[in-house]
Structure 1
Amino acid sequence: MNKVRGEGRLQKPQVATNVILALVALFYLLPLWYALNNAFKYAESISVQPFWLTKHSFTFENIARAYEQLHFKTAFFNSALILALSLLLLVTLGSLAAYGVILPNNRAIRRLYTFFVALISVPPQITIVPLLLLLKRLDLVNSFLGVAFVYAGMYLPFVIFLYAGFMRSIPKEIVESASIDGCGPLKTYIHIYMPLLKTITGIVLVIRGVSIWNDLLVPLIVLNKNAMFTLPLQLYIFSSSKVGQWDLVFGGTVLVCLPITVFFLAFQKSFVKGVMAGSLKG
């Protein structure tokens, strides 16, 4: 009887936790449902039934019109190119810098790593003006590569911190065996470290990829040509010109969010594995 009572007492905090988590999930899902169901609804139905989607109010017209007016193909290509360039720079430079930090064991390198980690606390908005001035001198304004360099400068400290932490967890015996077999530092990095860091690379792609895709500030400042605008920037201009036309605004919002949602689902397993591995190590 005492065991049963004890188990019942243990279940009460679990029930309370589940209720709180359910409320938090509802808090996040309600705006998502509101935007999603209104994206496939006639304008007059949005004000009458904003939270319910019926057969009579259902339509694809909002998506089709928003697709054309957003110049979706061009903006999607611009966003995808910036995302690919930025993530390539972050993964390559971040992993190489972390490898350079953990390979030699001296005080100067440790201080340099501490400096990198300290840069995480610097708000990215502070660096926008000097970065923009630097881009002008390098003639990288209105350049996809210039935008990618800005994102690399903003997010590299965090990426270096992640890669260095996971590289330190790799047993040194593996590296020593590779050096005995004739692997130099570069071959060790390519053939030993990077295959073992697929999980952390997936985490970097998800965390930084979502931030880069949804960012509005950097493209707004660096890009001035309409043909180079990203999807979030096009949506910002589109929604500003369609005040009150909520059917088109919701349709455009769903179109912009769809690619990054697919991207997140594709790398979801790597993200969860990395989080679980980090929690177990802690």
Structure 2
Amino acid sequence: MTIQGRKRLLDTLLFLFTLVVAIIFFFPIFFSVMSAFKTNGEIMKDAIALPTSLYLGSFKYLLTETQFPRAILNSLILTVIAILAQVLVIPMAGYAIVRRNNKWTRFIFLFYLAGMMIPFQAYMLPLFKELKMFGMYGNLVGPIVIYVSGSVGFGSLLYTSFLKGIPIEIEEAADIDGCSRYGIFWRIVFPLLGPCTASMVVLNGLGIWNDYLMPMLVLPSGRAKTMVVEIFKYIGEFSSRWDMIFAGTTLSIIPVMIVFVFLQKYFVKGIASGAIKG
């Protein structure tokens, strides 16, 4: 076999392997969406069968008879405000670490990275006591503060890797023209960080949107929490409402897919650039 033939065979095998992996990862999404349009009896009778009709009763019940609309709003509030705060704070932290580059900024950077190595369960109880002390336990402020502070380590690592590839001469030229330090960052540097920001928005936003533990523990019981927590309520010890579970899961997937489709190009570019420049 020639070299070209071997390369073609290798590309074909790689394509088939990638196709199989893609099908394996896509099947749970397809199964969830398909089951959302079936009654609970149809799911229990034959889980993998296609729906016989477009049943919308589960969606109607969730959106009109339960606290799910409020849970959707809570998820949106937590995700949007936390992401906006992260975009406001973390890029400036990464910029200061890279551009100052002294022993104090290096120590702060290592301090951020060290925080990523401590599991959440190790400081969970002291953190909740601190939230109660500052009056942030039992409302949406507590999770937002935790999401922002908990993402500083990863965000700083992502931005510092990307900032190393931005020429400092651009900033020096703006400085000569009389632009302030904040003006240099927000008007010149930050627009160049678009791919990196998109990567952080997708990764952290997905984590916040799908988080179960934090809203379950911090937000008050008896009231709507977030979409993931509300979906879990339909899982019982002896029986489960699978129609409600799959309908809620499908509703939670839609916003994530929309955001990822619009930011996919920047997300891939940001991850690749950060890996190369780091």
Normalised TM-score (structure 2): 0.91
Structure 1 equivalent of residue 210 of structure 2 = 214
Return the offset for 1:240. Answer: 3.5
Q: Does 1:17 align with 2:14?
A: yes
Structure 2 equivalent of residue 120 of structure 1 = 116
> 40, 43, 51: which is aligned to 1:43?
40
Q: Distance in 2 between matches of 1:256 and 1:240?
A: 20
Structure 1 equivalent of residue 269 of structure 2 = 273
Q: Does 1:144 align with 2:140?
A: yes
> 5, 10, 13: which is aligned to 1:8?
5
Count the aligned residue pairs: 278
Structure 2 equivalent of residue 100 of structure 1 = 96
Q: Distance in 2 between matches of 1:240 and 1:205?
A: 34
User: Which of the two has greater helix per residue?
Assistant: 1
Indicate conservation of the 8 Å contact 2:113/2:154, yes or no: yes
**Cα 1:42–1:73, aligned 2, differ >3 Å: closer, same or farther?**
closer
Instruction: In structure 1, list runs of 5 or more residues that go unmatched.
Output: none
Return the offset for 1:253. Answer: 1.8
Q: Does 1:154 align with 2:150?
A: yes
Indicate conservation of the 8 Å contact 1:74/1:227, yes or no: no
Q: Does 1:169 align with 2:174?
A: no
Return the offset for 1:242. Answer: 9.1
Which digits, 9 at most, give the CA deviation of each residue in 1:71-93, with x for residues without a partner?
Answer: 23211111111112211221222
Return the offset for 1:69. Answer: 4.3
**Cα 1:226–1:62, aligned 2, differ >3 Å: closer, same or farther?**
same
Normalised TM-score (structure 1): 0.90
Return the offset for 1:280. Answer: 5.2
Greater Cα shift, 16-25 or 272-281? 272-281
Q: Distance in 2 between matches of 1:131 and 1:183?
A: 41
Q: Distance in 2 between matches of 1:268 and 1:148?
A: 25
Indicate conservation of the 8 Å contact 1:132/1:222, yes or no: yes
Structure 1 equivalent of residue 60 of structure 2 = 64
Q: Distance in 2 between matches of 1:149 and 1:135?
A: 9
Indicate the percent of aligned positions where both proteins have the same amino acid.
Answer: 28
Indicate conservation of the 8 Å contact 2:159/2:196, yes or no: yes
Indicate conservation of the 8 Å contact 1:41/1:247, yes or no: yes
Return the offset for 1:269. Answer: 2.4
Which digits, 9 at most, give the CA deviation of each residue in 1:170-221, with x for residues without a partner?
Answer: 1011011011011121111111111111111111110000000000000111
Greater Cα shift, 76-85 or 110-119? 110-119
User: Residues 162-241 of structure 1: matches in 2 within 5 Å?
Assistant: 162-240=158-236
Q: Distance in 1 between matches of 2:184 and 2:191?
A: 10
One-letter amino acid of the counterpart of residue 245, structure 1: R
Greater Cα shift, 170-179 or 96-105? 96-105
One-letter amino acid of the counterpart of residue 238, structure 1: Y
SS of equivalent residue, structure 2 residue 235: helix
> 48, 52, 55: which is aligned to 2:49?
52
Instruction: In structure 2, list runs of 5 or more residues that go unmatched.
Output: none
One-letter amino acid of the counterpart of residue 190, structure 2: M
Q: Does 1:82 align with 2:71?
A: no
> 31, 34, 40: which is aligned to 1:34?
31
Return the offset for 1:42. Answer: 2.7
One-letter amino acid of the counterpart of residue 29, structure 2: L
Return the offset for 1:113. Answer: 1.3
Return the offset for 1:279. Answer: 5.2
Greater Cα shift, 268-277 or 145-154? 268-277
